[in-house]
Amino acid sequence: MNSRQIRSNALSRRRSAFQTLERKDLLAGDSAVMVEFAVFSNESRPDDLVADRTHVLPEGMAQTHEWDRFVVEVWLRGEGQEPVDIQDMTLDLGYRTDLTSAVDVEFGRSFEGPGSFQLDDQAGQVRDIHATTAGVSLTDADRVLFARVHFQAVPQLGDNVRMDFDTGSVGPHSLELASDNLAALSAGQQVTTTADPMPELGILPVIYDLNEDQKIGLADFAQFIQVYGQTTESATDGLKWFADFNKSYAVGLADFSHFITNYGKSYLDENVSFPSNYPEAWIEPDGSGNGDGDIVIDPDPDDDENPPPPPVFNLGQFQVGIVLPGVNDVFEIMIGGINWNGIDINRMTGAASLSGEGDPVDGDVVLTIVLEDEELFETEIELVFDGELIDTVEEFNEYSLVITAYVAEVMNSLKGMLGEALDGQ
């Protein structure tokens, strides 16, 4: 579906009908089972690995991206003057199912008896999460793991965290976790059971997936090159606002580097890297988490006191036959405004040279990109080999062959990508 065809909230949000249960204060002398929920990208490590008990629950995460595989952990503790012994625990968990899907439940080691659950992703519910034990004693001194509910993106079930190309919003969108039907049994008798406030988890889109098909590929690259070299001033600038990944108010070298670093990944790969200012540079830090945060616009980005450092060529990563540049292997090509009809992209070339400005011994390395004998772009870069910055004539000459070969391989890679992208337009 085209990313601009944003459905209304009533259609796109399949929400759970669960209520959010919160803890109740106990009367003097009462004891109860308290349920705590926490969200982690990787499951937490209990203090006691044999019984899955821990004294202090680590702080969970508040937001993540749509392809992350995460867990909602359910912990139990006792509250009151006396320990609480239970042999049976049941609860339901609800979530917003258009953002992600619950795919499995695993139970804590203290609940060694039969366990069961029902997944209903269409309704956004994991019902009857139930497990038994020979007996677990709960106090307020530590916590016992009841269950971990595993979540991941399943596009076949409709999961897709949408980018709003009309408003420029990326959310974060609340997962709207909720619990219901909490019940604990001790010797067959109902035990007072209540829950601490449910954590708020915001989910963000993968911004490089510009066509929102749950993978970063040539179709996204074709959209990216359409706006490369353009500036952006407003969150309503559509595609070029989103292609400005680092929010420098221009679609340029750093954005290309971020895109290439993640090129080829899909919802099956949760290891996606983002600019350090994502999503803070896109939304207010104190946004409500419902996807309605205001976009933050830098009124004058040219007045930034600390401009970004020049891009880096890490020559230690160089290999002949490289397919795509790596995270530190970045370069620039200006393609905005070019009429591709009749232009032979095989005549695109790149070169690195040491400038003669300043000290006659030391200098800055300059990368130049040329297409059809016309210089398109020239920028300062850094060359690094074995952790050492190359900034002298002697060092530059010593590694000139590998530098030249590396730039040639990178340019060949870009030519191929441009060719495939343009053929597909």
Q: What is the pLDDT of residues 300-323, one digit of tens each?
A: 334 444 444 454 555 554 433 333
Pairing of strands 365-371, 348-354: antiparallel
Pairing of strands 193-195, 31-40: parallel
At 1, is the pLDDT very low, low, confident or very high (cuts 50, 70, 90)? very low
What angle is formed at CA 198 by the lines to CA 197 and CA 199, rounded to 5 degrees?
115
The reported pLDDT for the residue numbered 364 is 72
Rounded (10°) CA dihedral 410, 415, 417, 418: 140
Reported as a single tens digit per residue, the pLDDT across 252-277 is: 877 887 887 788 899 999 999 999 99
Strand order in the sheet with 173-174: 63-65, 202-204, 173-174
The reported pLDDT for the residue numbered 117 is 97
Rounded (10°) CA dihedral 254, 260, 262, 263: 150
CB 326 within 8 A of CB 258: no
Predicted structure pTM score: 0.67
What is the average per-residue pLDDT within 231-240? 91
Q: What is the C-alpha to C-alpha distance for residues 353 and 393, in angstroms, rounded to an integer?
A: 10
What is the average per-residue pLDDT within 24-39? 74
CB 172 within 8 A of CB 291: yes
Quick one: what percent of the chain has pLDDT higher than 90?
47
End-to-end CA distance of the chain: 17
Q: What is the C-alpha to C-alpha distance for residues 399 and 394, in angstroms, rounded to an integer?
A: 9
7 DSSP 8-state letter: P
Pairing of strands 178-186, 189-191: antiparallel
Closest CA to 95 of 187, 169, 201: 201
SS3 37: strand
The reported pLDDT for the residue numbered 326 is 34
Reported as a single tens digit per residue, the pLDDT across 111-136 is: 998 899 999 999 999 999 999 999 99
Find where tokens 């090159």 sit. 225
DSSP of 295-317, one letter per residue? Answer: PP--S-GGG-SSPPPPPEEEGGG
3 state SS for 233-291: CCCCCCHHHHHCCCCCCECCHHHHHHHHHHCCCECCCCCCCCCCCCCCCCCCCCCCCEC
Q: Can you give the C-alpha Rg of the chain in angstroms? A: 27
Tokens standing for 263?
């090129």
Closest CA to 345 of 421, 252, 416: 416
Q: Quick one: which H or E segment has residue 9?
A: helix 9-12
CB 144 within 8 A of CB 86: no
What is the average per-residue pLDDT within 210-227? 88
CB 211 within 8 A of CB 421: no
- Say how many residues make up the chain: 425
The reported pLDDT for the residue numbered 410 is 61
Q: What is the C-alpha to C-alpha distance for residues 80 and 8, in angstroms, rounded to an integer?
A: 47
Beta bridge partners of 315: none
Tokens standing for 311?
């891009």
Ramachandran region, residue 247 (left: φ > 0; alpha: ψ -120 to 50; beta: rest): left
3 state SS for 362-422: ECCEEEEEEECCEEEEEEEEEEEECCEEECEHHHHHHCHHHHHHHHHHHHHHHHHHHHHHH
Please provide the average confidence, as pLDDT, over all residues in the chain: 76
The reported pLDDT for the residue numbered 105 is 97
The reported pLDDT for the residue numbered 381 is 67
CB 210 within 8 A of CB 251: no
User: Is the per-residue pLDDT at 184 higher than 90?
Assistant: yes
